[in-house]
Amino acid sequence: MTRFEITILGCGSAMPTTLHNPSSQLVNVNEKLFMIDCGEGTQLQLRKYKTRINKLHSIFISHLHGDHVFGLPGLLATLSLLGRTGDLNIYAHKDMELFLDPFIKYFGNQFPYKINLVPLDPIRVHSFPLKHRIPTNGFLFEEKERPRHIKREMIDFYNIPVGKINEIKQGADFAADDGRWIKNEVLTTPSTPPRAYAYCSDTAFSTEIIPYIQRSDVLYHEATFAEAENMRAQETHHSTARQAAEIAKAANVRKLIIGHYSSRYNELDKLLDEARAVFPETELADEGMTINL
């Protein structure tokens, strides 16, 4: 089975603290690295956790608040120093140009690689709208459906030509030499279910995201506040830990990871307890945490 894991590089919110770094995560799919958000100091976190930065494939930015993008200029400069030559795609809201263009124009002519700013569209990594003060996207990293497993003994039994095996793995039935039509279910077993990881950064409580994240193996959902600060959560378009758990339960996900903690919390047990009261399979995000799917 291919590698599919997520490393938390930062799970704090906008106000800097010494406890947590701003938002950033790394998704490793078979040694191809995808970054989600790039808060200040992200490149130091990459080095701290001994990440092979040269394997970075693409960057996905959920929205253009500073705690999700201020680490980009430094990271882009470091990639240049490391001698990167391949293009780097950055998927973000179209206003990302306003933030990065001055930097690219001033420093970019020294870079040995090209930076492509790509407006968010449904691609192999799906994006979906969240509910925040500015345009904000969540991301769903989902494996493609794998071919069905052919039963080795059926190849000999029905004298199946090698050229037909791939078609059968894709779901085709088989016409035997004697004219019989052999159903695919007889020849194969179901494929391993594709794995999925959903990332919901800054967002108010919104059941509208549930269709996008249903039955994900792991859901990362912001939990900026405890329930006692519900009014503050509404004012700032953020979620409480309990609300994150309600989304996880309604979406029937396997595991919930909460993060993006407000700087007011030095201890996070309260957030965890409130979430687990609704959705027991909840864990706290922490820098260096690795989640294997």
Residue 106 and residue 51 share a domain: yes
Residue 284 and residue 179 share a domain: no
Residue 272: its H or E element: helix 269-276
Among 168, 189, 210, the domain-final residue is 189
Residue-wise DSSP of 6-19: EEEEE-B-SS--SS
| Two structure tokens written together for 53 | 């930065």
Residue 28 and residue 93 share a domain: yes
- What is the residue-level pLDDT of the chain in tens, covering all 293 positions? 688 999 999 999 999 999 999 999 999 998 899 999 999 999 999 999 999 898 999 999 999 999 999 999 999 999 999 999 999 999 999 899 999 999 999 987 789 999 999 987 644 689 999 999 999 999 999 987 888 999 989 888 888 998 889 999 999 999 988 888 999 999 999 988 889 999 999 999 999 999 999 999 999 999 999 999 999 999 999 999 999 999 999 999 999 999 999 999 999 999 999 999 999 999 999 999 999 99
Q: Among the residues of 35-95, which ranges form H helices?
A: 42-48, 66-69, 72-81
| Two structure tokens written together for 178 | 């004697």
Q: Tell me how far the alpha carbon of residue 247 is from its chain's centroid.
A: 17
Q: How many domains does the chain have?
A: 2
Residue 228 and residue 139 share a domain: yes
Residue 83 and residue 205 share a domain: yes
Catalytic residue (one of 37, 67, 202, 217): 67
Domain span at 219 = 4-145+192-292
Residue 106 and residue 79 share a domain: yes
DSSP state of 46: H
Active site residue 67: yes
Amino acid at 39: G
Among 112, 105, 64, 63, smallest CA distance to 86 is for 112
Domain CATH number, residue 277: 3.60.15.10
| Two structure tokens written together for 230 | 């519900």
Residue 67 and residue 163 share a domain: no
